[in-house]
Amino acid sequence: MFFRFVCYLVVVWLIPASDAGHCPDPVLVNGEFSSLGPVNVNDKITFKCNEDYILKGSNWSQCLEDHTWMPPFPICKSRHCGHPGYPAHGCFKGEDFTSGSTITYYCQEKYHLVGTRDQQCVDGEWSSPLPVCELIQEASKPAPQTECEKALESEELCKAIKSYMQRLQENGLTMEDLKYSLEMKKAELKAKMLP
């Protein structure tokens, strides 16, 4: 009788525990967690990433009564970067993509770099977006100009004309007077040239 009672107590005590059950085994690629065997409901476990990996997400999780994990499992991300890729018409100098190393971008002739030339691998990510190599626009040539147009634009010429007009005025001559005197000179010369 006593034995049966003890047996009953043990069963009553065990059933809720076994009913509660455990959660699916945790998973963490490139890392480890604190549990060794099956994890019971309400138990918490912690996560740690291997060297050169960074934990993204929560570093702990709890087995819930519905046998799910909360918060969700983290992931372990490499601290090193992948190949950063080439911009069109460009390349980079540097072979080391490990965390902390730098590379430098260059563009082909006739292209100039827009963006960040020097990039560093910081915990698995390149420090800036890929730069772009843009075609250099040929310096826009000024509209063709005749010598005359150039002369008219010249400030020297403007000054010369102004001072000439000023001198004429100072001598009491107008353009008409000047023209007349030139006509006279021309007539004189013509007369002299006649046989």
Q: What is the binding site for ligand NAG (CB under 6 A)?
A: 46, 59
Q: Which is nearer to ligand NAG, 21 or 71 (CB)?
A: 71
Q: Is 59 or 101 the residue whose CB approaches ligand NAG more closely?
A: 59
What does the alpha-carbon distance between residue 188 and residue 163 come to, in Å, rounded to a whole number? 28
Q: Which is nearer to ligand NAG, 32 or 149 (CB)?
A: 32
Between 48 and 80, name the residue whose CB sits nearer to ligand NAG.
Answer: 48
- Residue 71: asked if its preceding bond is cis (omega within 30°), the reply is yes
Q: CB nearest ligand NAG: which residue?
A: 59
Would you say 58 or 101 has its CB closer to ligand NAG?
58
- Let me know: does 107 contact 92? Beta carbons within 8 Å: no
For residue 3, report the phi and psi dihedrals to the nearest 5 degrees: -60, -45
CA distance to 12, 77, 105, 116, 190, per residue, from 81 (Å): 56, 10, 16, 17, 93
Q: How far is the CB of 60 from ligand NAG (least distance, A)?
A: 6
At closest approach, how far in Å is the CB of 73 from ligand NAG? 14
Query: Least Å distance between CB 5 and ligand NAG?
Result: 44
Rounded to a whole number of angstroms, the minimum distance from the CB of residue 45 to ligand NAG is 10
H helix runs in 55-113, sequence order:
none
Contact 97, 80 (CB under 8 A): yes
Identify any residues that bridge with 40 across adjacent strands, giving them in sequence order: 22
Closest CA to 127 of 155, 172, 94: 94
Token reading at 82: 């992948």
Beta bridge partners of 121: 126
Least distance to ligand NAG from the beta carbon of 111, Å?
A: 45
